[in-house]
Structure 1
């Protein structure tokens, strides 16, 4: 090595070591500062190389053995700083490109390519290793490793395809063609992790996931449609049945109203009208709750409208059985059947239910009629026979009541006003039972007070502006229970 370039070699080594030290001192929390350091030191080292006439892309054996180690290390430092500068620019490009999901994978791939290229360049231009022979030998080794790691490589390349294709992102809820579904919680080179509704983690190899049909439920949003098939005995005209089923969906609190739920008549024969209900929920996790509420409302609205659920096609039923079922259903009046279907009144005897039904009076409210104002203390218990009642607070609808629901018990039992204004959405039929008919039943049944207090507290907790629902529900139930029990004590002493 000529003596005149020895100083440049020493300066290159100093700059290389200083660049590494300063780069590490910046820390991972300052990526832009690190990039500036990388570019600055690489530029300075390149200028020194040019001034010293050192060519990094050519193998030059040193002339002085005493300087050989410094010459080799100088070239290595330059190649290392070149790789870091290129990687820094790549990271900035990936961030500015605005595709965070692909960023990690692309970054890893490009960094691997850069380091591999730098390693081969150092071997060829610094140590004079014949790269052609090395590549030929490594090709054979690569074939052997490829056969041994066939499944692993399949997962890796499938992961690359899934990442670049972007069928999902972390946090999406997906449904696979084999029935597996869940939310994406992690994705790496080899596998994708799903958190299922059962709160289990399913690990799917990327090669398996790439072969399955995939439905992304989270796109364009997580609104999820549910279809429920119902069979109704054709005792009424089909358009009447369709109207009742639409009322079912309109009275449901667990489904979304935009887009509006729909009802379709899909078939008819001598035994049934086939109806399908279409409705959406805000998340796949709410499917079970919404389906259960709709099924409950189908039963209640069918009972209130005089409709009957049809037998399944596999069930053969004779005319005698149909007559027996109809006779059994009509053996009690509509009021008594309604009272018997309400769990709160299950503690009453058959004679007490009959007497309670005989005292009930029928009232009808037109759509839009105000049944009670917020804070009103009603003097009678009102059981909804048919229709939908809207519970409103501060002008906003909080929930809806359907056939089988009741209200007003707080007023005539404990003098408690309604927590919501009540308004008829459709034509509403209610059966009204006065305090004088209900009072004789209160004496020896404290469990009735528990159920009435729970019903009152639940109705109030339906409001969406109550904050901590569980705490409010328990506090309200305790207060109502004490108030109702005081009425029981006063009644017993009187």
Structure 2
């Protein structure tokens, strides 16, 4: 039989054709590439069996040179296609099992083993090289190379152990025992990269990471627990202070309400009552915002309840130097203090703010009472002195969804007072609520004496409406400074609004 008309030649042609076709298929079509690999591998296997060529046996020595080259080339191509088919199966398995983190390291490891096996098989069955002797001889070089690459190999095998153990995945936030923390953004054979809070990337060798204890705060979910300690002067009972701290946590929008936050009395002495506030946030990015908000709410609610923070613990403070209960107790928020803290009244002078505070009245709402419904216009500004109000908005099914809370020092009704715009959400009292009320009759004299103040108020109110979460068409239309200026002028030219009904008393 002529050498150009033998099965090995066809095998070589099929093998090269398979390589060309496989290269032409885009990488994104991994399933198609695997099918092509398997098809050409099976075709080559059939041709090998038809030509009585066994790829895992050494080449016989009685073939001619041309036949030996063809048979050797056919075996090499067969082993190459076998390796590619095995690698294709591994990649498809990783995709189906949805293991993107293991895909890189495990795939590299398997590919390396497959290619090493293919190379040894070609040396043994095509070129007749004594592989056993080669492996034994290479052991000495492997020992020398291992000593030279000891640190690199340590990182390599530590990376394999970390990937198999799965203590973290890409995107998890981890905290190491030495205080280093960050989000895992990359992991490879040598190191793991963390993105820190300062937005820096820290590369940690895998061997170093494997020796340290780590805490994965992203598992089993992204929520994270926090705890704060608050020290209050012991002017009221611990039970009253626990209720007050529950109100603090209830009014926070930065923490999770499920599981419910906890308040625990930590210690009690003549100097202070210490309370631990434990709560959870949705993710680590909310930690700073939640802590700042809780501290702010503790101050505001404590002040509204007539409490003050205790002095820090110190051995130098003796009982004889302790302030009296009357001196320790804080005063309630006054209407003047709250008005000065409201941005929309920053255009007023100190005297005008004091005069406006003198006209404020006190109104109380029961727990669960609806203060204003969505779209209802309040002709008075309400400044919360104590208590918590929840803002709710109805969905398509008519259910009310909580969108925020108001605490002491917060205010509402400013859009109705100044521009005649309705509330963007329903307001409901979560606890007993006490507010300072300023109506249009009290505010009108100031605006009549200073007409230019309408422009300042319109600018401040426009910025506040634009920064709110409301997205209704009416709010967007009324958010311009010019429109608000006209609305303020129109409201205060109209007839005075009648005061609301209810128990009202003059503010102190």
CA distance in 1, matches of 2:228, 2:461: 28
Structure 1 439/339 Cα, relative in aligned 2: closer, same or farther at 3 Å?
same
Partner residue in 2 for 1:46 = 45
Q: 1:482 corresponds to which residue?
A: 485
Measured against aligned partners, the alpha-carbon deviations of 1:72-112 in whole angstroms (never above 9, x if no partner) come to 21221222222223323333444444434323322221221
Equivalent residue, structure 2, for 1:204: 204
User: Please, which of 424, 438, 442 is the counterpart of residue 437 of structure 1?
Assistant: 442
Contact 2:419/2:484, CA 8 A, preserved across alignment: no
- Are the equivalent residues in 1 in contact too, given 2:465–2:479 (CA < 8 A)? no
Instruction: Give yes or no for the alignment of 1:71 onto 2:71.
Output: yes
1:424 to 425, 429, 433: 429
CA RMSD of aligned residues (A): 3.4
Q: Which runs of 5+ in 1 are unaligned?
A: none
2:140 is the counterpart of 1:140: yes
Distance 1:409 1:124, change over 3 A: closer
- 1:261-300 correspondence to structure 2 within 5 Å: 261-300=261-300
Note if contact 2:303-2:333 (Cα within 8 Å) is conserved in structure 1: no
Rounded Cα–Cα distance in structure 2 between residues aligned with 1:447 and 1:208: 65
Partner of 1:403: 408
2:275 aligns to what SS in structure 1?
strand
Answer yes or no: is 1:21 the counterpart of 2:24.
Answer: no
Structure 1's 342 and 271: CA in aligned 2 closer, same or farther, altered over 3 A? farther
Q: Does 1:119 align with 2:122?
A: no
Structure with a larger share of its residues in helix: 1
Partner residue in 2 for 1:415: 420
Aligned length: 485
1:236 aligns with 2:239: no
**3-state DSSP of counterpart to 1:28:** coil
Partner SS, residue 323 of structure 2: helix
1:108 counterpart residue number: 108
Shift of 1:129: 1.7
Q: Secondary structure at the match of 1:322?
A: coil
| TM-score, scaled to structure 2 | 0.84
2:18 & 2:462 partners in 1: Cα distance? Answer: 73
Hey, what does 2:157 align to over in structure 1? 157
Within 5 Å, which residues of 2 pair with 1:300-311? 300-311=300-311
Distance 1:63 1:462, change over 3 A: same
Instruction: Indicate the residue corresponding to 1:166 in structure 2.
Output: 166
Partner residue in 2 for 1:190: 190
Kindly state the Cα deviation for residue 341 of structure 1 after the two structures are TM-superposed: 5.3
| CA separation of 1:342 and 1:313: change in aligned 2, threshold 3 A | farther
Q: Cα deviation per residue 1:231-277 (whole Å; 9 max; x = unaligned)?
A: 00000000000111110111111212111222111111111000111
1:175-228 CA-to-partner distances (Å, cap 9, x unmatched) read: 222222222222211122222233222222212222222222222211111111
Structure 2 unaligned regions, length at least 5: 395-399, 495-508
Cα distance, 1:399–1:447 mapped onto 2, change above 3 Å: farther
In 2, Cα distance between the equivalents of 1:301 and 1:372? 23
Matched-pair contact (CA < 8 Å) for 2:454–2:485:
no
